[in-house]
Structure 1
Amino acid sequence: MSNDLFQLYPFPGGRVRLKRLYLDLNLHRLGTTGKPFVYANFLSSLDGRIALEDAKSGKTYLPPQLTTHNDFRLFLELHAQADCLITHGGYLRALANGKLGNILQVGLREDAGYLAEWRIANGLPPQPAIVIASASLDFPMPQSIEKHGQKCYIATVDDADPKRVDAWQKQGVEVVFTGQRKLVGGAPLIQALGRRGYKSIYLIAGPHMLDTMLRDRQIGRFFHSITHQLLGGDAFKTLTPGAELGENGYLKLVSLYYDPTSPENCGQWFSQFQQSLPET
């Protein structure tokens, strides 16, 4: 593990420090309530796997060899710049089952105290608001959200089960409806969050939410870490599970960094893109 990276783009490159690499982007200043700034971060292998599927159970899992300390540090720096996080019901179910760690709060890890201090110094609340995207409304609510005083919303579709909607509303959770789709809509959700005062929104949901945000052209910045390994596997998850994206999938490179040491001295790239339409 190294604290140094090599800048490959923009030119000229050179050696840069890992710590504060993404924090110094000041993403929290790029959005307004009229046009919130939405950004997402994903990790994949060279062959495009973000998760594998267990052949016996049919359940997906994150291979431990895909995760790296340096990638997670940059994830936390992006995490710290949001006034609102969008997650999904599947993550909360996995969290409740002990299959994933809690990433709903900022700066609670022993090595992340500087991120909590940074938020306060930059006028952000101690903890971001939480949005749970779910068409089924079937998930447990983590106690940590109430413990840390975070505002919580549930985003769902117009024809969601009214009994489940009513049950969440009776618990004091505001439910946001995003249109008549099978999945939670991207643009309607971001517009609704802007009306509620949010400017900097970090997408920590799965590939389906990324897909709808790309199609609705809501992604202001897309961060992608690529570890230099081939995972293989017959059943797997990728970044975009839907139909062809067409021009909505066009991305323009903003930055590219090379980490030569992790994982296992194979190396990885840290890239940053913005959505871009072709010139006409």
Structure 2
Amino acid sequence: MSNTLLQLHPGPHQEVPLQGLYLQQKLHRLGNSGKPFVYANFLSSLDGRIALTNPLSGQSVTPKTLTTPSDFRLFLELHAQADCLITHGGYMRALSEKRLGNILNLNAHSEHADLVSWRQKNKLSKQPALVIASASLDFPIPKELESQKESIFIATGKNAPPERINAWQKKGFQVLIAGANKLVEGKPLTDQLSQRGYKSIYLIAGPMILHTMLEDRQLSRLYHTQSQQLLGGSDFHTLVSGKPFNNLLNLRLSTLYYEPANNHTTGQLFFQYNL
């Protein structure tokens, strides 16, 4: 992990410390109970891939060459400022099958343990609440998350399978109906979380959830790490998937940082856009 990044925008160009770079934005103070601050973070290649699909298994995976310690540190700094995370059922299945690691909890016994202390100092709960968005409601809750049941919400649309809604409720989970059909929609979900007092909501779900948040104009800020490598491939995912937006979405570049390539990783750019 680099100690510094080069700030390209806004000027003047200068080196800035990587650690604490996103913490200093104090995102947990930017929202309120009436209008939560909703932000998302994505990592992609230069040709726009966030994940490639394995032709044999059909499963989508983020190539390991995209991930870096620097990007992961900044991901966790955004995580540390949230009082609520939004993920999806596909991630829960992958987590249970050990195909992906647990990025839902901050680890007090890792090199990033300072983030746990940071939450305590800023009077945030030990871990953020968790929303799992799913149309099918067909996913497991990994054992390591069962103790957090009271702060886990299952979000779905009103036409989701009623027997599965009942099954989750019988297990003691709160189910949020946040969509007119089967899919979760951005504004109904944000409204429900706002009513429960959440002010800082971190979207770590996939491109479909990002699409509905953008379509409903619920996203406040987009963080995008662009790795300076080309992946290619004909079956892949990008930042957003879904129908064309009803209205043009113009993003405003707020900050841009650069990490040069080294012997271990390719160079990468860290964009921050306000909406």
* Fold equivalence (TM over 0.5): yes
Q: Is the 8 A contact 2:8 2:14 kept in 1?
A: yes
Length, aligned pairs only: 275
2:52 and 2:104 mapped to 1: Cα distance? Answer: 23
Q: Is the 8 A contact 1:127 1:148 kept in 2?
A: no
Deviations 1:232-252 (A, max 9, x none): 011111111112225453211
Q: Is the 8 A contact 2:156 2:182 kept in 1?
A: no
1:263 and 1:218 mapped to 2: Cα distance? Answer: 40
Q: Is the 8 A contact 1:68 1:263 kept in 2?
A: no
Residues 1:50 and 1:43: Cα distance change in structure 2 (over 3 Å): same
Residue in structure 1 matched with residue 228 of structure 2 by the alignment: 228
The amino acid across from 1:12 in the alignment is P
Residue in structure 2 matched with residue 18 of structure 1 by the alignment: 18
Instruction: Report 1:1-280 matches (<5 A).
Output: 1-148=1-148, 151-245=151-245, 247-261=247-261, 264-275=264-275
Residues 1:124 and 1:247: Cα distance change in structure 2 (over 3 Å): same
* Structure 2 stretches lacking a partner, 5+ long: none
Q: Cα RMSD between the aligned structures?
A: 1.5
Residues 1:240 and 1:9: Cα distance change in structure 2 (over 3 Å): same
Q: Is the 8 A contact 1:44 1:227 kept in 2?
A: yes
Quick check: 173-182 or 141-150, which moved more? 141-150
The amino acid across from 1:134 in the alignment is S
* Structure 1 stretches lacking a partner, 5+ long: 276-280
The amino acid across from 1:50 in the alignment is I
2:212 and 2:150 mapped to 1: Cα distance? Answer: 25
Shift of 1:108: 3.4
2:263 and 2:248 mapped to 1: Cα distance? Answer: 32
Deviations 1:39-64 (A, max 9, x none): 00000000000001112222211111
Residue in structure 2 matched with residue 278 of structure 1 by the alignment: none
Deviations 1:45-102 (A, max 9, x none): 0000000111222221111111111000000000000000111000000001111000
The amino acid across from 2:172 in the alignment is G
Deviations 1:107-141 (A, max 9, x none): 33511111011101111111111101001000001
Give the TM-score, by structure 2 length: 0.96
